[in-house]
Structure 1
Amino acid sequence: MKRVIIYSIYLLATTACSGQSTSSTVKPGTYRAVLKTKGGDLPFGLDIQPTAGSSKTYTVFALNGNERLPMDPATVQGDSIRIPMALFESELIAKIEDNTLRGVWRRRRTAQQYQTLPFEAQHGQNYRFVKEAKGTAANLAGKWATDFGSKTGKVDTVNAVGVFNQKGNQVTGTFLTPTGDYRYLDGNVVGDSLFLSCFDGSHLFLFKAKHDPATKMLTGGFWEGVSGYESWVARFDPKAELPDPAKLTFLKPGSKTLNVSFPEPNGKVVSLADPRFKNKVTIVQILGSWCPNCMDETNFLSPWYKRNKQRGVEVLGLAFERSPEMAESGPKIERMKQRFKIDYPVVLAGTNDKAQASKALPDLNAVVAFPTTIIIDKKGQVRSIHTGFSGPGTGNYYDQYVDEFNRLIDKLLAEKI
């Protein structure tokens, strides 16, 4: 790891100094990118194109399954390219070598500490783990009752549900959990083995498993980020389900609403008692700018609010960030608002430690997950609390959530005060 960090520092220094020389040109198109993790190569796709009207920047998308996730504008200095993802304080920095990009991914953890991994990308390649099918692949499409961290090698507790689609040897899907999902996973089945991965600037997921057709079981490992690892097992089960997300977070006895009062980045204090929320159906979004599942929910909620705010609805975002200091977290909230074009207020409510977040919202039994969505009726009473969020990577589960959300809002808007 020391060698990776030293190489990262060297690359940054080289990039900063190389501005004096003629800049290299990045070949536009699709790249097969790889991060070198403890679990092996973690592949993902990149689409890099010159930005229209600019000779100095590039438009970049991370490719995972059906998702084309926009990164921030990439810049070239000398012989290196920098692809930032400011929302997650991470970036790819690489030297341009004809058809190859070679460098590091790094993510800021504290003011002086970064996590780093070696990175490289090959132009013109778009396969995930293998170029083509070799032999007959196992059919893993469907639902899988999953136990992350199983101690017995059996599914003793269903703490996730795998949902996979398969075409030939190509597999897409995700794992749903009581607190959210693993977003867009993409991979292959090779013989009796499953390989899945995801990179979105924040999440680095690598799954490997062996399939036993006799027991209809998957047994494997899950590598997350720079050093995270967990074993997992899964059993094919078309009826696999998770606990009801409407029952995990609830009001304490005697509470009927939320009593919140927190500042926006501009210093203005926002309270649910403000006239803005009076006699309106209000959605309270517990989130964090660091949280990709919150990103998925915000990507739904922000345009939804624009279409529906004239109907008598409001939204308030409660951001729980890594730092309680507004000087540190305020700019992150503002970047999030700009990226998702958020029109509703987002306040700094505290830190993303769940115990501390629970103290900041004493009317709740606990803050179980980021995001959590609380819906309040026109009288100011809480009518629904939904823990977690099933994003678009979950397919029908996302569609079902959107339908149920809209039906509830319609019902509450029709009620008389």
Structure 2
Amino acid sequence: MFCLLALIAIFISCEEPRPELGLKSGIWRGEISAQGNSIPFNFEVKKDEGAYEILLINGKEKLKIDRIDIFGDSLFFDMHIFDINIKAKIDQEKLSGSYSKNYAEGYVLPFKATYGKEGRFDNKPASNEFDGTWETTFTDKNGKNTSAIGLFQSDSTGINGTFLSKTGDYRFLDGYVEKDTMHLYSFDGNHIYKFKVQKENDSILKGEFWSGKTSYKTFVSVKNDSARLPDANSLTYLKEGYDEIDFSFPDLEGNLISLKDQRYENKVVILQILGTWCPNCMDETRFLSDWYRKNKSEEVEILGLAYEIRPDYNYAKERVLTMKDKMNVPYDFVIAGTSSTKSASESLPMLNKVISFPTSIIIDKKGKVRRIHTGFSGPATGVYYEEFVDDFNQFMSSLLNE
């Protein structure tokens, strides 16, 4: 028996490693299967001096992926800043494998991709029948209703847009119209969305919305160019009896940080309640990073309060450091709690409630809370985003000049 095992060991040790097949540079079309739907998306592979880079294309945005490993015919890559990855087998101009959210038990979906497929679809009919602003009510499986505003705009290649809600927008949606039905999709590494929308008449739409592995909602939309959501600056506020924000959370080096620290005295401070798992937070972080680089001075600080998926400090720290590195974030973070509005509300008991990630709190030089903004209307919302940027800049200018 010993001799037999020795011979097997010698045979295995002499076996040559599988040659690396490599990944073809250029455009690929990927597909993730969820709830009986196929969610198409594109990504571009680049190779420079042996190092790979992938650009995940989601409508008008491109997300850089640089953590890519290839072993023989096996491919592994992470989804931007998220604790999510794709594992696939390379077969010439085909990929087949799985998409996994590592922080969610059993969250694995089938993935495949084909080389050389430009665009999300082979045919993308154009139509302006769904253009406009639509007041929308979503209904989940339990009968709970939530309000939103649908924003759709067609061009020569198809139709794009988003839904805007009081807790944030649905980011970049991209699709096509076929007869009286609009199909919209989104995949940004985390969100896996499909919308199927049928036109009842010129003023009413009825649709279905699939999100990720299990979420499903129906909705009704009524055309209304004057549709508005509640004021995002009125939803979260200080409880009666409180006049300031107070906390003590560890930073990324384990030091406890408080707004009473000398660094924040006599400064305008923006507190960003966020999670690295949250794509809307990614949009806000990109905006705040750009604003901070342009306006950094001795009079303003931004501090991110990170609420991560696991209650493990080292895991949370790793996720935040990954985001800081990949997005080149110039401001500091603390680890504040876990990724639920309940956790955030308990950690900041002076607030009526944290109802959304992200939420931003703006504090003046005297330590007084001057504004709390719930959610974030990102670039996909067009004029709503532009209005937010203008208002934010004016408000911050007035605080800094006080």
TM-score between the two structures when normalised by the length of structure 1: 0.88
1:394 aligns with 2:384: no
Note the C-alpha offset of 1:132: 4.2
Where does residue 149 of structure 1 map in the other structure? 139
Provide the C-alpha distance between the structure 2 equivalents of 1:256 and 1:118, rounded to a whole number of angstroms. 51
Where does residue 39 of structure 2 map in the other structure? 42
Note the C-alpha offset of 1:75: 2.4
Provide the C-alpha distance between the structure 2 equivalents of 1:283 and 1:138, rounded to a whole number of angstroms. 41
State the one-letter code of the partner of 1:401.
F
Note the C-alpha offset of 1:71: 2.1
Where does residue 270 of structure 1 map in the other structure? 257
The residue matched to 1:229 in structure 2 has which SS?
Answer: strand
The Cα offsets for residues 55-86 of structure 1, whole Å up to 9 and x where unpaired, read as 1x321111111111112332221112222126
Where does residue 245 of structure 2 map in the other structure? 258
Residue 121 of structure 1 is aligned with which of 97, 105, 113?
Answer: 113
Where does residue 338 of structure 1 map in the other structure? 325
Where does residue 404 of structure 1 map in the other structure? 391
State the Cα RMSD in Å. 2.0
The Cα offsets for residues 298-347 of structure 1, whole Å up to 9 and x where unpaired, read as 01111221221215110111111122221221111211221222232200
Do the aligned partners of 2:361 and 2:371 also contact (CA within 8 Å) in 1?
yes
Note the C-alpha offset of 1:39: 4.0
Do the aligned partners of 2:206 and 2:219 also contact (CA within 8 Å) in 1?
yes
Correspondence list, 1:350-361, <5 A: 350-361=337-348
The residue matched to 1:20 in structure 2 has which SS?
Answer: coil
The residue matched to 2:87 in structure 1 has which SS?
Answer: strand
Where does residue 228 of structure 2 map in the other structure? 241
Note the C-alpha offset of 1:138: 5.5
Do the aligned partners of 1:137 and 1:169 also contact (CA within 8 Å) in 2?
no
Change (3 A) 1:351 1:132: closer
Residue 181 of structure 1 is aligned with which of 159, 163, 169?
Answer: 169
Note the C-alpha offset of 1:353: 1.8
The residue matched to 2:280 in structure 1 has which SS?
Answer: helix
Where does residue 162 of structure 1 map in the other structure? 150
Where does residue 365 of structure 1 map in the other structure? 352
Residue 194 of structure 1 is aligned with which of 166, 182, 185?
Answer: 182
The Cα offsets for residues 257-296 of structure 1, whole Å up to 9 and x where unpaired, read as 1011110121111111111111111101000111111111
The residue matched to 2:390 in structure 1 has which SS?
Answer: helix
Do the aligned partners of 2:94 and 2:114 also contact (CA within 8 Å) in 1?
yes
Provide the C-alpha distance between the structure 2 equivalents of 1:60 and 1:114, rounded to a whole number of angstroms. 26
Where does residue 15 of structure 1 map in the other structure? none
Where does residue 285 of structure 1 map in the other structure? 272
Where does residue 104 of structure 1 map in the other structure? 98
Provide the C-alpha distance between the structure 1 equivalents of 2:240 and 2:181, rounded to a whole number of angstroms. 49
Note the C-alpha offset of 1:35: 0.8
Residue 303 of structure 1 is aligned with which of 290, 293, 298?
Answer: 290
Where does residue 70 of structure 2 map in the other structure? 76
The residue matched to 1:327 in structure 2 has which SS?
Answer: helix
357-366 or 315-324, which moves further after superposition? 315-324
Provide the C-alpha distance between the structure 1 equivalents of 2:298 and 2:251, rounded to a whole number of angstroms. 25
The Cα offsets for residues 164-190 of structure 1, whole Å up to 9 and x where unpaired, read as 110146111111110011111111111
Provide the C-alpha distance between the structure 2 equivalents of 1:338 and 1:299, rounded to a whole number of angstroms. 12
Change (3 A) 1:132 1:334: closer
Where does residue 204 of structure 1 map in the other structure? 192
Do the aligned partners of 2:75 and 2:89 also contact (CA within 8 Å) in 1?
yes
The Cα offsets for residues 192-211 of structure 1, whole Å up to 9 and x where unpaired, read as 11111111111111111111
Name the % identity: 41
The residue matched to 1:245 in structure 2 has which SS?
Answer: coil
State the one-letter code of the partner of 1:206.
K
Provide the C-alpha distance between the structure 1 equivalents of 2:343 and 2:23, rounded to a whole number of angstroms. 45
Provide the C-alpha distance between the structure 1 equivalents of 2:317 and 2:194, rounded to a whole number of angstroms. 32
State the one-letter code of the partner of 1:175.
F
Provide the C-alpha distance between the structure 2 equivalents of 1:34 and 1:76, rounded to a whole number of angstroms. 20
State the one-letter code of the partner of 2:102.
R
The residue matched to 2:297 in structure 1 has which SS?
Answer: helix
The residue matched to 1:328 in structure 2 has which SS?
Answer: helix
1:29 aligns with 2:42: no
Provide the C-alpha distance between the structure 2 equivalents of 1:32 and 1:142, rounded to a whole number of angstroms. 29
The residue matched to 1:117 in structure 2 has which SS?
Answer: strand
Provide the C-alpha distance between the structure 2 equivalents of 1:294 and 1:349, rounded to a whole number of angstroms. 15
Do the aligned partners of 1:19 and 1:77 also contact (CA within 8 Å) in 2?
no
Note the C-alpha offset of 1:224: 0.8
Provide the C-alpha distance between the structure 2 equivalents of 1:266 and 1:150, rounded to a whole number of angstroms. 42
Note the C-alpha offset of 1:98: 2.1
The Cα offsets for residues 224-262 of structure 1, whole Å up to 9 and x where unpaired, read as 111111111211211111111011000111222101111
Provide the C-alpha distance between the structure 1 equivalents of 2:145 and 2:44, rounded to a whole number of angstroms. 39
The residue matched to 1:390 in structure 2 has which SS?
Answer: coil
Where does residue 171 of structure 1 map in the other structure? 159
Provide the C-alpha distance between the structure 1 equivalents of 2:19 and 2:145, rounded to a whole number of angstroms. 58
State the one-letter code of the partner of 2:269.
T
Where does residue 9 of structure 2 map in the other structure? none
Where does residue 230 of structure 1 map in the other structure? 217
Where does residue 8 of structure 2 map in the other structure? none
Residue 20 of structure 1 is aligned with which of 3, 17, 20?
Answer: 17
Change (3 A) 1:324 1:25: closer
TM-score between the two structures when normalised by the length of structure 2: 0.91
Do the aligned partners of 1:49 and 1:60 also contact (CA within 8 Å) in 2?
yes
Note the C-alpha offset of 1:158: 6.4
Do the aligned partners of 1:289 and 1:295 also contact (CA within 8 Å) in 2?
yes
Note the C-alpha offset of 1:150: 7.1
